[in-house]
Amino acid sequence: MTAQQEPSFDCGGDLPVDCAQVAVYVQSFIDGEHVSISIEALEVHLDRCAPCGLEADDFRRLKVALARRKSERSMVDLLRCCCQSILETGKL
């Protein structure tokens, strides 16, 4: 038997926080909100635990996508505002 290696999903062993805690706090952590566990411990975990790291990446991507959508929205608002101004006053 050569089953010396643990499966990679068993990542909680030597990490300061376990996956369950990371699952609870990862979204707040990425949003920059206060979390009641150590940020360093969370970062170490995300760095070394593939499943949690991927989940964090998903949250980051989602956050970027939402931020992009928001800025597109404000461009539309700006254009709408300019158009309204032109319609109302005949100039910008």
- DSSP result, 65-76: HHHHHHHHHHHH
CB of 14 to Zn ion, least distance (A): 12
Size of the site for Zn ion (CB under 5 A): 4
Q: Where are the strands (E) in 19-86, listed by range? A: none
For residues 15 and 7, give the distance between their C-alpha atoms in angstroms, rounded to a whole number.
15
Q: Where are the strands (E) in the chain, listed by range? A: none
Show contacts with Zn ion in window 5-34 (CB under 5 A): 11, 19
* Binding flag, residue 42, Zn ion (CB under 5 A): no
- Going residue by residue from 52 to 81, which x/- string records binding to Zn ion, judged by CB under 5 A? x-----------------------------
